[in-house]
Structure 1
Amino acid sequence: MTSPQFQHLDVATLADWLESAQPLTLVDIRDPASFTAGHLPESRHLDNDGVPALLAEADRRTPLVVVCYHGNSSQQAAAWLAGQGFEAVYSLDGGFSDWSARYPERVAEGAPGGG
């Protein structure tokens, strides 16, 4: 039996997808304070308490991108989410740190949105 697969995604490709308004579900698994200090626009904070709502609400056919600090822990989360039936799951290589370094003008601040 093979384990569910996720794909790696670089920040430039994600930026292109966001510019073209491609339907995406963006989840950020960093701690709440880090998320509030800065996150990708339109991403939702996801912690263990928010997983049931994500599983209930998200369209499993819409690509799902998982963001963490540096692109490491998002891989484990992406693999788990792929196992929950999401068809296209991506781990953002370089994570939020790479995104914010390359696209500082595309960092949102404020309280977590979405569940």
Structure 2
Amino acid sequence: MDAPAFRHLDIPTLGEWLSSDTTLTLVDIRDPVSFAGGHIPGSRHLDNDSVAALLEEIPRERPLVVVCYHGHSSQQAADWLAGQGFAEVYSLDGGFADWRLRYPERVER
């Protein structure tokens, strides 16, 4: 079995990256209602309808972080995105649920 093409990212590291204005793309694959109810600042909603635009717009060399509810489905999405040529893809361990618990002040609505 091949190793996944993505890496795992923990919540504190993402927090540090966002605080230091590290250039990255942050995508949230939760359903639209959940995304509208709260998301990590700077993230964009990604679904089957918007993935083509992402593939066209985002430089493949820019780090890409995938967020879901709890860090499970983001792994499949991250693996797929890595297969689309993104050089540095991460799945956020713990997902948005863990982010919201650790950083309630850093949730955008």
Range into which the TM-score falls when normalised by the shorter chain: over 0.9
Q: Using a 3 Å threshold, how does the CA distance of structure 1 residues 3 and 51 change in structure 2: closer, same or farther?
A: farther
Could you give the per-residue CA deviations for residues 6-30 of structure 1, whole angstroms, max 9, x where no partner exists?
Answer: 0000000000000110001000000
Give the structure 1 partner of residue 39 of structure 2. 39
Tell me the amino acid that sits aligned with residue 96 of structure 2: F
Could you give the per-residue CA deviations for residues 52-83 of structure 1, whole angstroms, max 9, x where no partner exists?
Answer: 00000001111000000000000000000000
Moved over 6 A (4+): none
Structure 1 runs not aligned, ≥5 long: 110-115
Give the structure 1 partner of residue 76 of structure 2. 76
Q: TM-score, normalised by structure 2?
A: 0.97
Give the structure 1 partner of residue 62 of structure 2. 62
For 1:102 and 1:54, how far apart are their aligned partners in 2?
A: 28
Is the contact between residue 3 and residue 83 of structure 1 (CA under 8 Å) also seen in structure 2?
no
Q: Using a 3 Å threshold, how does the CA distance of structure 1 residues 4 and 82 change in structure 2: closer, same or farther?
A: farther
Say which SS state the counterpart of residue 87 (structure 1) adopts. Answer: coil
Q: TM-score, normalised by structure 1?
A: 0.92
Structure 1 residue 3, shift from structure 2 partner: 6.3
Structure 1 residue 42, shift from structure 2 partner: 0.5
Tell me the amino acid that sits aligned with residue 73 of structure 1: S
1:18 aligns with 2:18: yes
Say which SS state the counterpart of residue 14 (structure 1) adopts. Answer: helix
Is the contact between residue 4 and residue 80 of structure 1 (CA under 8 Å) also seen in structure 2?
no
Give the structure 2 partner of residue 113 of structure 1. none
Is the contact between residue 4 and residue 83 of structure 1 (CA under 8 Å) also seen in structure 2?
no
Instruction: Give the number of equivalent residue pairs.
Output: 109
Say which SS state the counterpart of residue 49 (structure 2) adopts. Answer: helix
Give the structure 2 partner of residue 88 of structure 1. 88
